[in-house]
């Protein structure tokens, strides 16, 4: 049986591989910089989950929206974000996407549709519905992809956001990145259904479970969801079964091994989405190994440059600590 | 010039601005077909359609969250909380203080979030008993969160002008409406007691800038700083006090963020005495903030300690006898003013 590449062109497949690898390299480097003490805050790495962000974003157009999460570097990179600006933000530099005001959990890139990320689990879900409302009112035919984790599916925000989107048939694709653990608590201890997607029925919404380690499977599910959304058929809940190869945050003891068995972690490592996709690309002879290696070298170089850019960038000026509290100037003395 | 009540003034501001700017949308509980519990959105759905004026589920987190998202998507949403007390319901508060208030800042100015949250507050004593969960004054909560502007209009004229400013602002605005102000038209007894509740409101569009207090009455002996319904109670108290030869000045800040410190401070420097009247609970309240600001800015001008006339630190009770005791009344204002004057 021929390998299914969802009718994607060679160029598109190269882009998918590049984005996944760029995320991986970026996150590994961020982990190193964190270990070196160069990142002043907490970071949550996306390693292991690359197929989800890239599978979803490769189905979106440039002006479609994305709502990201605390584990959000991968979403921004997958949507076409600038790695220099993300890295600089992680280091708290003035050249970061949020000018050093946000950090790892508050990355935004409106010019490519990344409309922010939140450190509050589930909070992006009703906001995504609001973006869907804007599309609906303005009739722009865009869609919103809203990322969140399995933990977020237990929040009230999940219920409120999905209910509103379904009630108003808003063009939102709810993407649950189910990495099986809400920080340290396994899903089976917190969530009384086997699949988060099973909850879609409560909103009269289509719920789909996909292999979150298979970028093409995620791409196809998302493409179908975008078609439904653009034709006015409302939202879809896509659950991607995935796994984070690192801890919840950098510094999580034993890389999350306190609450996960070594055997389980090793089992999932074997399903590495990047290696799996690389093998397929070469086996199918769509790419020669040398072409793949070229992509790999390019990604490594880009990320190296991003780290240098971030390190060499200036910090924001302390005198500007109050800048951006308000957008308008007429905020009087209180806004100074 | 026509006389309008508070609800009608708000309705007119919404209608005129929605006509001017098609990006303004209105949503909340019962705001569409029903026209809002206090009639502020009456006929808007009929005029602007269900696309722009929407009834939401009872889902405050979705109402505010969707307003945040809609603003990010280029709309100017007006989200109504049916009662300000409901700000604590479901996911609403997180959306307000972790998302709405902070987004412009934490994203380094990359996005603007021009949401107007309309929220009725306050005790309806003696018109109706709302009890503990439908009567609160929570404006101090929002003063404590950088990034939110807060309007606290006391008159129909101000309500229209401030709401038009809010709808043209690029910042999130909490637009707080004291419920007793809604009742002036339909409750003759209330109107007779507080004639200042009705107002001449121009039919034309006009805006009132945020951060500009209004001096409701000039006087030389004591400065009263009062907001919303307390302005009207203070006006009535001032009439009583003038019969005793005490001449009070009444300053209505109109917006709490930004706060027009200059007008307040100038008034206190002139009179040498300050009484702050605010219906919210005393501890950690609006009056506490204004009092400490006056101490910082005008201590040397004070001839007497500042007095606060505030709501008691109790949940709003149901029985009118108890409710009346829990919130500031004219007699409390009179006592406080006489206290700082010493006669």
Residues 6+ positions from A319 with CB-CB distance below 8 Å: none
For A128, name the nearest residue in chain B, comparing CA atoms only: B69
- B56 and B136, same domain (yes or no): yes
Q: Are B214 and B152 in contact (CB under 8 A)?
A: no
Please report whether residue B209 resides in a domain: no
Do the interacting molecules here have an ipTM over 0.85? Answer: yes
Where among B172, B201, B230 does a domain terminate?
A: B201
- B290 and B190, same domain (yes or no): no
How far is Cα B190 from Cα B198, in angstroms, rounded to an integer?
Answer: 10
Residues 6+ positions from B81 with CB-CB distance below 8 Å: B28, B60, B63, B64, B87, B92, B117, B118, B119, B120
The predicted model scores a pTM of: 0.96
**What residues pair up with A144 in beta bridges, in sequence order?**
A65, A172
A251 has a chain B CB within 8 A of its CB: no
Q: Which two tokens stand for residue B279?
A: 């219906």
Tell me: the pLDDT tens digits for A237-294? 999 999 999 999 999 999 999 999 999 999 999 999 999 999 999 999 999 999 999 9
How far is Cα B4 from Cα B203, in angstroms, rounded to an integer?
Answer: 10
Please report whether residue B302 resides in a domain: yes
Closest-CA distance of chain A to residue B246, Å? 32
Q: What are phi and psi of A65, to 5 degrees?
A: -95, 155
- B76 and B126, same domain (yes or no): yes
The whole-number pLDDT of residue B185 equals 83
- Residues spanned by the domain of B238: 214-341
- B35 and B144, same domain (yes or no): yes
Tell me: the pLDDT tens digits for A76-131? 999 999 999 999 999 999 999 999 999 999 999 999 999 999 999 999 999 999 99
Residue A1 has pLDDT above 80, yes or no: no
The whole-number pLDDT of residue A329 equals 62
- B221 and B190, same domain (yes or no): no
pLDDT band of A328, cuts 50, 70, 90: confident
DSSP SS3 for A102: coil
Where among B146, B170, B201 does a domain terminate?
A: B201
Of B66, B111, B257, the CB nearest to A334: B257
Please report whether residue B308 resides in a domain: yes
Q: Which of B33, B104, B134, B144 is catalytic?
A: B134
Please report whether residue B207 resides in a domain: no
Closest-CA distance of chain B to residue A97, Å? 7
How far is Cα A291 from Cα A288, in angstroms, rounded to an integer?
Answer: 5
The whole-number pLDDT of residue A336 equals 34
Please report whether residue B332 resides in a domain: yes
- B304 and B167, same domain (yes or no): no
Interface touch B57/A131, C-beta < 8 Å: no
For A333, name the nearest residue in chain B, comparing CA atoms only: B258
Interface touch B61/A127, C-beta < 8 Å: no
Of A100, A120, A136, the CB nearest to B98: A120
Of A101, A123, A130, the CB nearest to B98: A123
Cα angle, residue A98 at apex, residues A94 and A103 outer, rounded to 5°: 90
Residue B330: give its domain's CATH number. Answer: 3.40.50.920
How far is Cα B230 from Cα B233, in angstroms, rounded to an integer?
Answer: 5
Helices (H), chain A: 10-35, 50-57, 73-78, 83-90, 124-138, 156-167, 187-190, 215-230, 262-269, 273-283, 289-312
How far is Cα B40 from Cα A236, in angstroms, rounded to an integer?
Answer: 35
Tell me: the pLDDT tens digits for B321-341? 999 999 999 999 999 999 999
How far is Cα B313 from Cα B280, in angstroms, rounded to an integer?
Answer: 9
Closest-CA distance of chain B to residue A33, Å? 22
Characterize the bridge pairing of strands B2-4 and B199-201. Answer: antiparallel
Mutate to test the interface with A, among B49, B110, B255 (most CBs of A within 10 A): B110
A333 C-beta neighbours (distance < 10 Å), count: 12
CA contacts within 13 A on the Cβ side of A92: 13
Q: Are A291 and A297 in contact (CB under 8 A)?
A: no
Residues on chain B touching A138 (C-beta within 8 angstroms): 73-75
Interface touch B106/A101, C-beta < 8 Å: yes
Nearest by Cα to B81 from B119, B54, B114, B116: B119
Q: Are A90 and A76 in contact (CB under 8 A)?
A: no
- B241 and B197, same domain (yes or no): no
Question: What mean pLDDT is predicted for residues A221-229?
Answer: 98
Question: What mean pLDDT is predicted for residues A138-164?
Answer: 97
- B158 and B261, same domain (yes or no): no
Closest-CA distance of chain A to residue B115, Å? 12
State the DSSP H helix or E strand holding residue A238, giving kind and residue range, or none if neither: strand A236-241
> A10-311 falls under which CATH superfamily?
Thiamin diphosphate (ThDP)-binding fold, Pyr/PP domains (3.40.50.970)
Has B134 been annotated as catalytic? yes
How many domains would you assign to chain B?
A: 2
- B190 and B224, same domain (yes or no): no
Of A102, A134, A331, the CB nearest to B73: A134
Residue B185: give its domain's CATH number. Answer: 3.40.50.970
Interface touch A168/B54, C-beta < 8 Å: yes
- B190 and B221, same domain (yes or no): no
The whole-number pLDDT of residue B184 equals 87
State the DSSP H helix or E strand holding residue B143, giving kind and residue range, or none if neither: helix B139-143
A99 has a chain B CB within 8 A of its CB: yes
A332 has a chain B CB within 8 A of its CB: yes
How far is Cα A20 from Cα A24, in angstroms, rounded to an integer?
Answer: 6
Please report whether residue B206 resides in a domain: no
Residue A334 has pLDDT above 60, yes or no: no
**How deeply is B30 buried, as exposed, middle or buried, from its count of CB atoms within 10 A (0-12, 13-18, 19+)?**
middle
For A133, name the nearest residue in chain B, comparing CA atoms only: B70
Q: Residues in chain B with pLDDT < 70?
A: none
- B163 and B286, same domain (yes or no): no
- B19 and B142, same domain (yes or no): yes
How far is Cα A116 from Cα A108, in angstroms, rounded to an integer?
Answer: 4
How far is Cα B292 from Cα B298, in angstroms, rounded to an integer?
Answer: 10
How far is Cα B234 from Cα B222, in angstroms, rounded to an integer?
Answer: 12
Distance of CA A219 to the CA centre of its chain: 14
Of B91, B171, B261, the CB nearest to A126: B91
How far is Cα A54 from Cα A20, in angstroms, rounded to an integer?
Answer: 6
């Amino acid at each position: 049986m021929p390998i299914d590449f969802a009718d994607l062109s060679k160029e598109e497949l190269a882009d998918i591989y590049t984005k996944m690898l760029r995320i991986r390299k970026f996150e590994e480097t961020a982990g190193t910089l964190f270990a070196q003490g160069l990142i002043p805050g907490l970071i949550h790495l996306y390693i292991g989950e690359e197929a989800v962000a890239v599978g979803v974003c490769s189905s979106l157009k440039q002006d479609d929206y994305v709502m990201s999460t605390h584990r959000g570097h991968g979403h921004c990179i997958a949507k076409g974000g600038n790695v220099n600006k993300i890295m600089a933000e992680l280091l708290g530099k003035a050249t970061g996407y949020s000018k050093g005001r946000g950090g790892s959990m508050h990355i935004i890139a409106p010019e490519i549709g990344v409309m922010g990320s939140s450190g509050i689990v589930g909070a992006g879900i009703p906001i995504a519905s609001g973006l869907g409302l804007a599309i609906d009112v303005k009739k722009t035919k865009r869609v919103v992809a809203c990322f969140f984790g399995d933990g977020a599916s237990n929040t009230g925000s999940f219920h409120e956001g999905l209910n509103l989107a379904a009630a108003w048939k808003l063009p939102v694709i709810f993407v649950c990145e189910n990495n099986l653990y809400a920080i340290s608590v396994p899903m089976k201890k917190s969530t009384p259904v086997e699949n988060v997607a099973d909850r879609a029925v409560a909103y009269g919404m289509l719920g789909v479970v996909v292999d979150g380690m298979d970028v093409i499977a995620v791409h196809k599910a998302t493409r179908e969801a975008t078609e439904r959304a653009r034709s006015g058929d409302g939202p879809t809940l896509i659950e991607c079964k995935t796994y984070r190869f690192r801890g919840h945050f950098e510094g999580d003891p034993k890389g999350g091994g306190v609450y996960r068995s070594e055997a389980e972690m090793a089992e999932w490592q074997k399903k590495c989405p990047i290696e799996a996709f690389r093998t397929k690309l070469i086996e199918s002879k769509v790419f020669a190994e040398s072409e793949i290696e070229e992509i790999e070298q390019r990604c490594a170089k880009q990320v190296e440059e991003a780290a240098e850019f971030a390190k060499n960038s200036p910090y924001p000026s302390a005198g500007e600590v109050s800048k951006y509290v308000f957008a308008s100037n007429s905020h009087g003395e209180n806004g100074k | 010039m026509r006389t309008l009540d508070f609800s009608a003034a708000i309705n007119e501001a919404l209608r005129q601005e929605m006509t001017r700017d098609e990006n303004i949308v209105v949503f909340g509980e019962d705001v569409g077909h029903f026209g809002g519990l206090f009639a502020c959105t009456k006929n808007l759905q009929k005029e602007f359609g269900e696309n722009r004026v929407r009834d939401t589920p009872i889902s405050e987190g979705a109402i505010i969250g969707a307003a945040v998202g809609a603003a990010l998507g280029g709309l100017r949403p007006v989200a109504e909380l049916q009662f300000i007390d409901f700000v604590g319901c479901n996911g609403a508060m997180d959306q307000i203080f972790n998302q709405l208030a902070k987004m412009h800042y934490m994203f380094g100015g990359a996005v603007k979030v021009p949401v107007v949250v309309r929220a009725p507050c306050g005790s309806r004593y003696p018109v109706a008993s709302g009890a503990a969960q439908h009567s609160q004054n929570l404006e101090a909560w929002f003063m404590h969160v950088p990034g939110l502007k807060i309007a606290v209009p006391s008159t129909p004229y101000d309500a229209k002008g401030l709401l038009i400013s809010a709808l043209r602002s690029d910042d999130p605005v909490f637009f707080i409406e004291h419920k007793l102000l809604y009742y002036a038209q339909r409750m003759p007894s209330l109107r007779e007691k507080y004639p200042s509740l009705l107002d001449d409101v121009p039919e034309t569009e006009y805006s009132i800038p945020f951060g500009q207090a209004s001096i409701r009455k000039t006087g030389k002996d004591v400065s009263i700083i009062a907001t919303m319904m307390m302005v009207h109670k203070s006006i009535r108290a001032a009439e009583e006090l003038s019969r005793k030869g005490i001449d009070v000045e009444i300053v209505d800040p109109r917006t709490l963020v930004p706060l027009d410190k200059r007008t307040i401070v100038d008034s206190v420097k002139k009179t040498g005495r300050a009484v702050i009247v605010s219906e919210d609970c005393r501890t950690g309240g609006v009056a506490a903030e204004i009092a400490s600001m006056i101490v910082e800015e005008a201590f040397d001008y004070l001839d007497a300690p500042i007095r606060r006339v505030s709501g008691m630190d109790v949940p709003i009770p149901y029985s009118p006898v108890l409710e009346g005791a829990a919130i500031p009344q004219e007699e409390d204002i009179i006592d406080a003013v006489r206290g700082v004057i010493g006669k």
